[in-house]
Amino acid sequence: MSIHFPLMADGLLDAIQPAPRFKSVAGRGDAPLPAGTPIFASNMVFSPLMLMKQSALENNLRQLADFCHEQGVMLAAHAKTSMSPAILRRAVTEGGAWGLSAATPAQVRALRQFGIRNVFLANQLVDPAGIHWIGEWQKQHPAHGFLCYVDSMQGVRLLEQHLSDSRIAVLLEMSVSGGRTGCRTQREALEIATAIAACPALQLVGVAGYEGALGAERDATGIARVQDYCQMLIATAALLAEKQLFSSDTIILSAGGGAWFDVVSTCFNEARLSLPITPLIRSGAYMAHDNGLYARIAPFSQPDARYHFEAALEIWGRVLSRPEPGLAFVDFGRRDVPFDQDLPNPLWVRNVDGSAPRAASGMRIREVNDQHAYLLLPDEDTLKPGDWVGCGISHPCTAFDKWRYLPLVDDDYCVTDSLETAF
């Protein structure tokens, strides 16, 4: 029987069909893997695939919830890391979060559609369409909490103009010279806070910032820089309280990303102002943690930590080729894995049928192209084309956005739930 292989283009196309939604699901890719599916003992999975370990996710939610309870701080877990309703709803129902943080109006809209009642836009709200949408939502859902930043007189004017008859609560954002968004001086902060207090559409309820932009190492000097930054936020709040510019009975002090929430919590809890303080931290990467950046810098990764996080994300791919001694190519790359902080870290190897798991001893990823990973390994290693290589990742904030779907799996790599994302 001969094989038909056209050597000339005929200009014809088959009828278009719906695009596959789930690139790691075999077949049509139009439905997630059913619960109970064994990842490595079925023909239902395409390589590569990103997955999340359920036990690690549950541990991480529980660990930060316990920390927040012990420290008496509120948590607005940052949603931008995963943008996955199945994960983010757990942060509220199981992880004790007051609500979730967003970075853009589109993320605010997504969180509302996920059913999240309290949302903190940890950013300036200056887009007229976004202001209008958020204002209308708040007017129709007065029991839903909403917060955002202001750091300029123009920002106050835009909110006043486009909120119409809606009202929202805002925090004055502070930063340092060369830092990210935020007022640079207390004089500027006082001017803007005075304008907020005079605006019927706005209620000033706190002071906020982001210490992660300081770029500090986690050593004595870095800790001191973060502490100084927190003291600047506290001093600004004290000044605004003295001028009676807050419209609430308590002052929200908010900072604390994934690297410094422990230092931030301590500083805010030690502050003494004329009004009670509500510390509010905004970590998001903790839900997934990692085997790279946050494994080095996260508070619970330090030697004296009372709590601990576990890496929940793994990328699995198949060996494409072993073209020369000490080198193999795996079928994932920049389209599939984060590479902005560290390259993936090989952890496990399995045979082509998923059997015989073993440690990826002596292996490391040297670089990644769009769809190839350069895997260095001992010359004598028996790894062959078709075998699985499983890696931990670094920086979960740039991992989830590459996947519309990830299976949540138990410790035996059987599917327990479906995680879809909304980037």
Tens digit of each residue's pLDDT (9 = 90 or more) over 152-203: 999 999 999 999 899 999 999 999 998 899 999 999 999 999 999 999 999 9
- Which of 18-27, 130-139, 359-368 has the weakest average pLDDT? 18-27
Residue 416, Ramachandran bin (φ over 0: left; ψ between -120 and 50: alpha; else beta):
alpha
Residue 3 has pLDDT above 90, yes or no: no
User: Which two three-digit tokens encode residue 181?
Assistant: 């968004």
**Would you state the structure tokens that stand for residue 321, as one six-digit string?**
């080729």
- What's the whole-number mean pLDDT along residues 8-17? 89
Mean pLDDT, residues 103-124 = 98
Tell the burial category of 13 from Cβ atoms under 10 Å away from its Cβ (0-12, 13-18, 19+): exposed
Render pLDDT for 43-93 as a digit per residue (tens, 0 to 9): 999 999 999 999 999 999 999 999 999 999 999 999 999 999 999 999 999
Q: Tell me the pLDDT band of 1, cut-offs 50, 70 and 90.
A: low
Residue type, 12: L
CB 148 within 8 A of CB 124: yes
Cα 289 from Cα 299, distance rounded (Å): 11
Instruction: Answer for the pair 170, 121: CB distance below 8 angstroms, yes or no.
Output: no
Count CB neighbours of 124 within 10 A.
Answer: 19
Report how far residue 78's alpha carbon sits from residue 88's, in angstroms, rounded to the nearest whole number: 9
- Model confidence band, residue 394 (pLDDT cutoffs 50, 70, 90): very high
**Considering only CA atoms, which of 110, 44, 67, 27 is closest in space to residue 283?**
67
DSSP E strands, 38-128:
49-53, 74-78, 99-102, 118-124
Structure tokens at 410: 């138990």
Angle between helices 261-270 and 54-71 (to 10 degrees): 20
| Bridge partners for 254 per DSSP | 208, 280
pLDDT tens, 191-239? Answer: 999 999 999 999 999 999 999 888 778 899 999 999 999 999 999 999 9
The structure tokens listed for 99 are 């609500």
Report pLDDT for 266. Answer: 97
Beta carbons within 10 angstroms of residue 142's beta carbon:
8
Residue 2 reports pLDDT greater than 80: no
CA distances from 374 to 213, 323, 324, 370, 386 (A): 32, 11, 12, 11, 15
Contact between residue 104 and residue 310 where contact means Cβ atoms under 8 Å apart:
no
Give the integer Cα–Cα distance in Å for 261 and 281: 6
Give the distance, in angstroms, between the CA of residue 140 and the centroid of all CA atoms in the same chain. Answer: 29
What does the pLDDT read at residue 370?
Answer: 97
Mean pLDDT of all residues in the chain?
96
Distance CA 206, CA 147 (A): 10
Of 73, 77, 122, residue with least CA distance to 95:
77
Q: What is the pLDDT of residue 10?
A: 82
Q: Is the pLDDT of residue 351 over 80?
A: yes
Inform me whether the pLDDT recorded for 248 exceeds 80. Answer: yes
Structure tokens at 187: 């004089």
Nearest C-alpha neighbor of 343 from the set 295, 293, 393: 393
> How many Å apart are CA 186 and CA 176, to the nearest integer?
11
- Residue 266 CA to residue 72 CA, distance in Å, equals 10
Neighbour tally for 20: CB within 10 Å: 14
112's enclosing H/E stretch is helix 105-113
* 251 — pLDDT class (breaks 50, 70, 90): very high
**pLDDT exceeding 70 applies to what percent of the chain?**
100
Task: Work out the pLDDT band at 11, boundaries 50, 70, 90.
Answer: confident
What is the structure's pLDDT at 215? 78
| pLDDT higher than threshold 80 for residue 317 | yes
pLDDT in the model for residue 4: 73
* Residues comprising the chain, all counted: 423
